[in-house]
Copies of this chain bind each other. A is one copy, B any other.
Amino acid sequence: MNAEIIAVGSELLTPERLDTNSLYLTAQLNALGVEVVAKAVVGDDRARLAEAVRFALARAEIVILTGGLGPTEDDVTRDAVASALDRPLVFRQELLAALEQRFRRLGRQMAPINRRQALLIEGAAALPNHHGTAPGQWLEHAGRVVVLLPGPPPELQPMFADYCLPRLRPLLPPLVIRTRVLRVAGMPESDLDQRISPVYTRYQDPLTTILAAPGDIQIHLRARSASETEAERVLSELSSQLEALLGENVYSRDGAPLEAVIGQLLRARSVTLSVAESCTGGLLGERITSVPGSSDYFAGGFLVYTDRVKTELLGVDPELLRAHTAVSEPAAAAMAEAARARTGSTFALSTTGIAGPGGGTEAAPVGTVFIGVAGPQGCRVHRFRFLGNRDRVRTLAAQNALDLLRRELVEHPGRCRRI
């Protein structure tokens, strides 16, 4: 079966915004063996959208629309699809009641304009929205499936997973698609590809895709088979070869992000972590605490963005900062050791650097970052020079700090030393 995805919203036709919901939906549809044959973006224009829906229905068995289900005048998806299918919109009292209840629970008055969200295309089933006000809609029409989903990803994704997948599966032939995601830190994409491409290019199944983000590479392996056993067999065959070539650079075999892997390692060893952040300014703590349950091992942190607070909050010797500057190996070591001492944590990470655009010097140009890793046996400091803008330098600093801790925990659990 083939699908087309139509993203609705004039903001998606500006130079600033892209439709990214289609990536999530494509992954989900591919996993069912459904191919996405076209995508479209249409503005908030009833007539144009109705035309686009008619055109899509002529070439795809499944048409999924995202966005345009809000309560305002701009939200034209309900109307346009009803018009393309030549069906009326019907007002559903039970949807209004659910909306009113949602607003009451939030202690807010429902604006009359929200009544529009209780309109369903005749014959459609409403798809509950547990994370917003707009219900989705599911409709089978002349051998086609038409689905209307809300635009915000936190609303769209659970709605698709919980209410569309169970409806789609019985319509499709059984095909097993299994994916494995290896994640790699600490090496550039070109080195990685040079090392593993002679292997993965020999395989058409699983198919390999490489996605690179700053400091973080994902290797997606996708197998399509008649049986789960066969899919898992070919995945393991290819995956084990790639893992052997990449060694300890592979940090995750199930797609888990680095902060979750760190969390598992800390928890398994019953040890704790603290941070002292200068150039990352909270990004490291934010990533660590994005993992539910991180209070079990995150012992707290210090945001020490200026020399004064490095001294006042962490007790870093002002003489040391004067002699070496705050962006230096001794400063990074003192910060990590102080965070560890003040929180009583087993390990501590520190970051200090020049994120830019200003502040670079000859000795420490923009992008220079020192990362300290303190543990029971002492502290190591690593110096980096990252290229790119402020955001990229901060992202790379946080990613490398977490990766250094991971290597410490995995490789040398008892071999920390003072450098």
Copies of this chain assembled into the complex: 2
Q: Is the CB of A305 within 8 A of B313?
A: no
A113-134 toward B: CB 8 Å interface, digit per residue (1/0)?
A: 1100000000000000001010
Q: Is the CB of A306 within 8 A of B295?
A: yes
A37 at the B interface (CB under 8 A): yes
The smallest C-beta distance from A270 to any residue of chain B, in angstroms, reads: 15
Q: Is the CB of B193 within 8 A of A343?
A: no
Q: Is the CB of B305 within 8 A of A343?
A: no
With a cutoff of 8 Å between Cβ atoms, the chain B residues found around residue A74 in the complex are 209-210
Q: Is the CB of A275 within 8 A of B290?
A: no
Q: Is the CB of B300 within 8 A of A306?
A: yes
Partner of A282, one of B39, B193, B289: B289
Q: Is the CB of B37 within 8 A of A38?
A: no
How many Å lie between the Cα of A312 and that of B235 in the bound state? 49
How many Å lie between the Cα of A402 and that of B394 in the bound state? 21
With a cutoff of 8 Å between Cβ atoms, the chain B residues found around residue A388 in the complex are 131, 154
Q: Apart from A277-B282, A281-B289, what 5 extra A-B contacts exist at CB < 8 Å?
A: A14-B220, A15-B26, A44-B209, A55-B55, A300-B312
A350 at the B interface (CB under 8 A): no
A175-205 toward B: CB 8 Å interface, digit per residue (1/0)?
A: 0000000000000111101100100010000
How many Å lie between the Cα of A351 and that of B344 in the bound state? 23
The smallest C-beta distance from A108 to any residue of chain B, in angstroms, reads: 7
A212-247 toward B: CB 8 Å interface, digit per residue (1/0)?
A: 100000001000000000000000000000000000
The smallest C-beta distance from A20 to any residue of chain B, in angstroms, reads: 7
Q: Which 10 A-B pairs have the closest CB atoms?
A: A282-B285, A281-B289, A282-B282, A301-B303, A300-B309, A15-B27, A282-B286, A39-B41, A285-B303, A15-B26
How many Å lie between the Cα of A166 and that of B50 in the bound state? 35
A/B interface sample: 15 pairs, CB < 8 A: A13-B35, A18-B18, A37-B48, A40-B41, A73-B193, A73-B201, A108-B188, A111-B193, A114-B190, A281-B298, A282-B282, A285-B303, A299-B306, A300-B309, A312-B342
With a cutoff of 8 Å between Cβ atoms, the chain B residues found around residue A284 in the complex are 282
How many Å lie between the Cα of A51 and that of B55 in the bound state? 9
**Known: A73-B201, A275-B303, A390-B292. Is A38-B52 also a contact (CB below 8 A)?**
yes
The smallest C-beta distance from A154 to any residue of chain B, in angstroms, reads: 6
How many Å lie between the Cα of A210 and that of B212 in the bound state? 32
The smallest C-beta distance from A116 to any residue of chain B, in angstroms, reads: 10
List residues of A whose CB falls within 8 A of some B CB: 10-20, 23-24, 26-27, 30, 35-45, 48, 51-52, 55, 59, 70-74, 106-108, 111-114, 131, 133, 152, 154, 188-191, 193-194, 197, 201, 209-212, 220, 275, 277, 280-290, 292-295, 298-306, 308-309, 312-313, 342-344, 355-358, 385, 387-392, 394
Q: Is the CB of A38 within 8 A of B42?
A: yes
Q: Is the CB of A312 within 8 A of B343?
A: yes
With a cutoff of 8 Å between Cβ atoms, the chain B residues found around residue A16 in the complex are 23, 209, 211, 220
Q: Is the CB of B41 within 8 A of A14?
A: no
With a cutoff of 8 Å between Cβ atoms, the chain B residues found around residue A43 in the complex are 37-38
Q: Closest B residue to A200 by CB, please name it.
A: B73
With a cutoff of 8 Å between Cβ atoms, the chain B residues found around residue A30 in the complex are 14-15
Among A13, A42, A73, find the residue whose CB has the most chain B CB atoms closer than 10 A.
Answer: A13
**Known: A43-B37, A71-B190, A300-B303. Is A281-B285 also a contact (CB below 8 A)?**
yes
Q: Closest B residue to A27 by CB, please name it.
A: B15
